[in-house]
Structure 1
Amino acid sequence: MNGPEIHLDFAPELRLFVPSGHRQGRTPVITDGRSTLGHVIESIGVPLTEAGRLVVDGLPVETSHIPGAGESIEVYAVERPQHVPGAPLRFLLDVHLGTLARRLRLLGVDAAYFSEDIGDPALATISARERRVLLSRDRGLLRRRELWAGAYVYSDRPDEQLRDVLSRFTPELAPWTRCTACNGDLVPATKDSVRDRIEGGTERTHDVFAQCVACERVYWRGAHHQRLDAIVAAALRDFSPVPRSADD
């Protein structure tokens, strides 16, 4: 580019996306004089899903703003919790986030996920068609224009990923109501109704069951329940709204 020089300052939370030369605060950038501020920000490496307020010489602007020579621009991170228009809040996760998808489902959060890579165009299309927030660690995927909404998952550790998503979007939690395998709804089931789907040992030692209305998978408090219960308890403790008292 060979046009006006501007000066960009990225919030500390966004500096992992940009080259080292742009991580030390206000740095010069040469633009072409035609591209929008949104395009300039993305060309440097920051997905617009992660950019919050944009301030030019002290005044807020939109991503459609065309930067002019000498402008000083501050790029803030998305404010948390982040409000997503429309309801209900639903997610779509890329193929690399299977554990996160299962944990969101464990908490009753609607989280669509495909165990096979269906490709970036298909994911973007589903996000737009079903109005789902696409969660990904793929910056290129988050730059696709057809996305309805998206968010970068900052960690590669499932525990931290879950906390990241819950703190950013504060979805309503309803643990043990969604199938972790297919995302379908769970309903109570009697032992008689699921007898042909469980083994003899399970039938003898358990009396409380649930079944997915979509894939018919059966659930009970098995060997892994204590570990899953700890995940649920931590999420409810840290991210469920605190009930207001009658005196508030």
Structure 2
Amino acid sequence: MDGPGRFVGYRATLPQVYRTLGKLVERGLVEFEVEAREGKPDAKIYRPGSKWSCSPVPGFWDPGLVNAGEITVEFAPELRVFVGQRDGSPVRVDGTSTLGHVVESLGVPLTEVGVLLVNGEPVAAGHTPRGGESVTVAAVARPQTSPEPLRFLLDIHLGTLARRLRLLGIDAAYENPDIGDAALAARSAAEHRVLLSRDRGLLRRREIFSGAYVYSHHPAEQLDDVLSRFAPRLAPWTRCTSCNGTLRAADRETVRDHLPDSTGQTYDSFAQCVDCGQTYWKGAHHARLDAIVADAMAKFA
């Protein structure tokens, strides 16, 4: 800010501007007036179209609070996929935004961030950076510990990964058709599920219980990524790959009505989902699925 009511050199959304103004007012550093919109003289909420001005409080004005200089931010190699050539470049700070906000504004979801260092000392994401500081952003440690039993929720684009996790006995909820970001975030929070996604915007939603970015487009690499990061307990062939329900052993007579013609005479071993009734046997695809299981067990069991 270079004078009353004028912001320069800093790009921000309207909510960010309003939060910054609120913090300045709380500290007694500025005063501002909101010109009420016609017909709403008592309105307390800023909305696009509202007219406002900001003027310094005599004796308290500090231009450096909003333009607090520049910091350097260096990211771990694993995180450079998010920042590209901006890694190590000077970053302007405003004196009010937290370090967590600065990191996210550079493209890195906080779900992927481990230890934050400022001038070599660990700080919380709520630290307010000041000009001249040197920031180092580490990637989240692997394996990532969880205070609760691991339960996952996958977005619409990760259907194959969801089925492979279920194949290994991992609780992996999946919504198809798409229920939207807000509903996914709400389910993550309500059921304490780790939200897996390649959508950085979705992972920035504050209401999610926990989240993780899936770095690859390829299902085999995605599976390795999740297993190496979270080290879940593997229990192959115990979950329904269709609905995520639990499987139980079933005899031929019990499932006969669910089998294609002649399958009952060809196979002896069956399993059935207790939730959706889907029936499983060692059919034509079993060798391919068994290879996926064997690879995962060899690497991560």
Q: Is the TM value for this pair above 0.5?
A: yes
- In the alignment, which residue of structure 1 is the partner of 2:59? none
Instruction: Within 5 Å, give how 1:141-180 maps onto structure 2.
Output: 141-180=202-241
> Secondary structure of the equivalent of 2:156?
coil
Shift of 1:27: 2.1
- Is 1:109–2:174 an aligned residue pair? no
Shift of 1:19: 4.3
- In the alignment, which residue of structure 2 is the partner of 1:42? 104
Shift of 1:91: 0.3
Structure 1: 4+ residue segments shifted above 6 A: none
- In the alignment, which residue of structure 2 is the partner of 1:80? 142
- In the alignment, which residue of structure 2 is the partner of 1:217? 278
- In the alignment, which residue of structure 1 is the partner of 2:181? 120
1:4 to 53, 66, 69: 69
- Is 1:28–2:95 an aligned residue pair? no
- Aligned residues of 1:19 and 1:44 also touching (Cα < 8 A): no
Give the number of equivalent residue pairs. Answer: 236
- In the alignment, which residue of structure 2 is the partner of 1:136? 197
- For residues 148 and 42 of structure 1, what CA distance do their matches in structure 2 show? 18
Superposed CA deviations along residues 196-231 of structure 1, whole A, max 9, x for unmatched, are 110222111001100000000000000000000000
**Sequence identity of aligned pairs in percent?**
65
Superposed CA deviations along residues 104-156 of structure 1, whole A, max 9, x for unmatched, are 00000000001211000000000011000000000000000001100000000
Shift of 1:71: 0.5
TM-score, scaled to structure 2: 0.77
- In the alignment, which residue of structure 2 is the partner of 1:68? 130
- In the alignment, which residue of structure 1 is the partner of 2:30? none
Superposed CA deviations along residues 73-121 of structure 1, whole A, max 9, x for unmatched, are 00000111111222x1100000000000000000000000012110000
- Aligned residues of 2:150 and 2:232 also touching (Cα < 8 A): yes
Letter in 1 for 2:117: V
TM-score, scaled to structure 1: 0.94
Letter in 1 for 2:113: A
* Structure 1: gaps of 5 or more residues: 241-248
> Secondary structure of the equivalent of 1:135?
strand
- Is 1:188–2:283 an aligned residue pair? no
Letter in 1 for 2:129: P
> Secondary structure of the equivalent of 1:18?
helix
- Is 1:205–2:269 an aligned residue pair? no
> Secondary structure of the equivalent of 1:109?
coil
Q: Which has the higher contact order (CA 8 A, sep 6+)?
A: 1
* Structure 2: gaps of 5 or more residues: 1-9, 11-66
- For residues 260 and 208 of structure 2, what CA distance do their matches in structure 1 show? 44
Task: Report which of the two structures shows the higher radius of gyration computed on alpha carbons.
Answer: 2
> Secondary structure of the equivalent of 1:222?
coil
Give the aligned CA root-mean-square deviation in angstroms.
0.8
Letter in 2 for 1:17: F
- Is 1:18–2:76 an aligned residue pair? no
- Aligned residues of 2:68 and 2:130 also touching (Cα < 8 A): no
- For residues 200 and 206 of structure 1, what CA distance do their matches in structure 2 show? 12
